[in-house]
A and B are shown apart, each in its own frame.
Chain A
Amino acid sequence: MLFNSYIFLFAFLPVTYLVFWSLHSARGRYLWLTLTGYVFYGYWNPKFTLLMAFSTTVSFLAGLGFLKWSDPRRRKLCLVVPITVDLMLLGFFKYANFGIRTATDVMHLFGRDVSMPHLNIILPIGISFYTFHTISYIVDSYRKVITPTRNFFEFATYVSLFSQLVAGPIVRFRQIEEDLEAIGHADRRRWLTRGLSFFVVGLVEKVVIADSMAAFVDPALAQYPALSSGGAWLAMLGYTMQIYFDFSGYSTMAVGLGYLFGLRIPQNFNSPYKALDPSDFWRRWHISLSTCMRDYLYIPFGGNREGEWKTYRNLMLTMLIGGLWHGASWTFVVWGGYHGVLLAAYRRFDRYWDPLPVRVRQGAMFLAAVVGWVLFRSTTFPMALALMRRMFVPTPGLLAANVWLVVPLLVAAGAWAMAGPNAFDMRHEWTWRRRVVLTAAAAACLAIIAGTRSSPFLYFQF
């Protein structure tokens, strides 16, 4: 089920909302949110709800273990076993075929052609996200950053909360714990208007900008060998806007939905194309993931505590794993590595970089991000190389269909992304002027959705 579908907007959401607020106990609300989370998830493929239930139960039991035992060995067991189980599930469903393919290729490189079977595995939507939820819960419990909950349904609500279940943000238990604890006496009206406002802003980002871009980008990149330099730039700039507004739109809608149920979900995007350097970019892009990577990978690797070169190594390792988290393909790994290099280079040369004018730094960082998206979007390295060649070596070929439409849209999207306010910068007071704007925007989005079948969010695949 997609947030930008009529079934969600006019059936799932109203029923979930009305029943939720008609219940008055925390227990009832936990139960209801868990149930609706499973319905939301199972709408895509009911079988995989079992997987999520299993992962939830294992992590919850680990939390109980932390409460019960103070002996370090037992605590470590409670840390290692559930994380291993979670990672094994993720590894099997997401990376098994990638591993097989890579092993076959490596064997081939050494002159041994081995035929290994391709496993017929369906990747459960959002497995990377809820696995991160459960792992962060276990690690934070182990580190005593949080006190594990004894209430199974509170934890199940946290894992299966439909607003952030399949594409994040990766909300950590500590970030939502306070609201979850207080769910029994949450005030329906307190965040209602703010929630609606966030939701509509997210819907505009997704439906009006990201999907319009997709309508041009996807066909253009499908024929990338025929693109001219201008066409390649237009397609990649379009993709740069598409992926941002798609994911940011989803996150903003998730935040809005959270507010509707009295839960404050943290900001996931803070206008990343306003970033002035790679470090700044990762403080603004997919904030929930980058903070997770910092806390659960970079710092445990040693962070910047062990000298300059080890810091670079830790940065690279973190970003390579971050790249792999995005998808089971070497192009994602190289994309992660590319950003690792950018981060390391910035760390080494920041004293030369920082005095440059703001516009220069912002423009250069934006350009660096666009180049990164070439790796991210390409399904193969030859595709990435061909696109790069077209972008940087003047090449004749196709420009784009409907340029007259694409260019103004690109300019508008770029202006919003690079200079405009994000949802968290906006005011969400329920003034009449704002009501008028939101009503018109919501109507426009619903009309567009009604004219096409809702397109899935890009980050679902991760």
Chain B
Amino acid sequence: MTASPTPVGGPAAAPAAAGAARVDFASRVARAAGYGALLLLFAAAFEFTCRLEDWLRYRMPWWTPITSQDDLVVFDKDGGHGRPGARYQKWVMNNLGMRGPDAEVAKSPGTLRVVTVGASETFGLYESPNREFPRQLEDTLNARLARGACAGCGVTRFEVLNAAAAGMSLPTVAQDIATRVRALHPDVIVVYPSPAQYLELEPPRPARPDSTGRRSRLSPARAFRPRALDRLRNQLKLLLPEVITTALRRREIAAAVRGQPPGWQYTAIPADRLDRYESDLRMAAGVIRSVGAEPILATHANAFAGGRENPTLLSAWQRFYPRATGPTILAFDSAARIVTERVARDSSTRLVDLMGTLAAAPDSAFKDFVHFSDVGSSAVAADLGDAVLALARARQP
């Protein structure tokens, strides 16, 4: 009889194997924890860099509840307007809730105060800091003043206050002039309207005043919202090829149209909306005069003026106004130009035809369908500067 061989890893080896398995499991857990910690470190370093860069580049506070452009607007007893002292990336609001450097409510002697009103085109989206057209307008006016362009008109300094805010419609503009801007005693108010707003689902109305301020109150907890998310979202958009972004936009537009009754989407200029634009513009001009300022009306410019075709860009614009087809938006903007000219003529108001000017400008004047680049803003400021100087010269010193 032969002795049976001791099985490999028999009873004596079992505890050792169990021990090794425990060690192996523990080292796996440790490694997993290590990688988890690295992931956390990655997220923390990413967020830290975002905040550090925001501070270095824009002087944006490390902890602020203002986490998007929307937070730059506040709704209070005066309606909707810029939030005083707010700051988000390159957009800096002054003590009066207007984009730009701080300003005194009282005008200093010899100052001709110009206030620009309108929506995001006037507020400035894509321009470099201090290159949005109201800032360039102030620079160009003062440069021309220094060269003697307004000799004898009693002006020693031009001051331009940018009271525009993204999405501000004509009725809200008129409301803001009547409530807030009036106190600043402006000499000239430049109105750069956005007619396409009249193609929204409902025609624009003045912002509802909120005396409680509850609607715009920002929770301090928002300061902890990761800024990395915005950056990543933007990069994701850039990552997508244009074909896909265009397809996604078209899908979004189609989804907005779907389920609506037939004829809901404007395929031709809606006359009632155009009439509404006209009456609101007349009202705004009237309000401006009522606060003792001289209005300047400007026609709205877009990147398609002068026969430039760009279906991709048009679909990007239409995404904001799915109620109208792309060609209708363009037709409405052109019709609004004629209306603006008519209102200016009827109310003896100075008109600046920016649509005409920008039609002849290079493509680089626009960063998207309606928003200017530094180049575009420079062209706008030059034309408006002529108009403001003409008004200044016409004034009695």
Contact = CB atoms under 8 A, between A and B. Distances in A.
Are A and B co-members of a single complex?
Answer: yes
Interface of A: 6-7, 10-11, 405, 432, 435-436, 439-444, 446-451, 453
A439 B42 contact: yes
Contacts of B47: 447
Given A443-B43, A450-B231, 18 more contacts: A6-B235, A6-B236, A6-B239, A432-B34, A435-B38, A439-B38, A439-B41, A439-B42, A439-B45, A440-B41, A440-B45, A443-B41, A443-B46, A447-B45, A447-B47, A447-B53, A450-B50, A451-B231
Interface in B196-236: 228, 231-232, 234-236
Contacts of B3: none
Which of B46, B47, B56, B239 has the largest number of chain A CB atoms within 10 A? B46
A261 to B, nearest CB: 23
A447 B234 CA distance: 12
Nearest to A208: B49
Contacts of B236: 6
Contacts of A450: 50, 228, 231-232, 234-235
Contacts of B42: 439-440, 442-443
A10 B41 CA distance: 19
B239 A446 contact: no
B41 A451 contact: no
Nearest to B38: A439
Contacts of A11: 239
A213 B228 CA distance: 23
Nearest to A453: B238
Most buried by B among A435, A443, A449, A453: A443
B46 A447 contact: yes
A392 to B, nearest CB: 32
Residue of A444, A447, A449 with most partner-chain B CB within 10 A = A447
B34 A443 contact: no
Contacts of B44: 443
Nearest to B231: A450
A447 B228 contact: yes
Given A439-B42, A443-B42, A448 B239 contact: no
Contacts of B45: 439-441, 443-444, 447
Contacts of B46: 443-444, 446-447
Given A6-B235, A10-B239, A453-B238, A447 B56 contact: no
Nearest to A212: B56
Contacts of A449: 235
A440 B45 CA distance: 5
Contact of A6 (B48, B228, B238): B238
A93 B45 CA distance: 44
Nearest to B39: A439
23 contacts: A6-B238, A7-B238, A10-B239, A405-B56, A432-B34, A439-B38, A439-B41, A439-B45, A440-B41, A441-B45, A443-B42, A443-B45, A444-B45, A444-B46, A444-B48, A447-B50, A447-B53, A447-B231, A450-B50, A450-B228, A450-B231, A450-B234, A450-B235
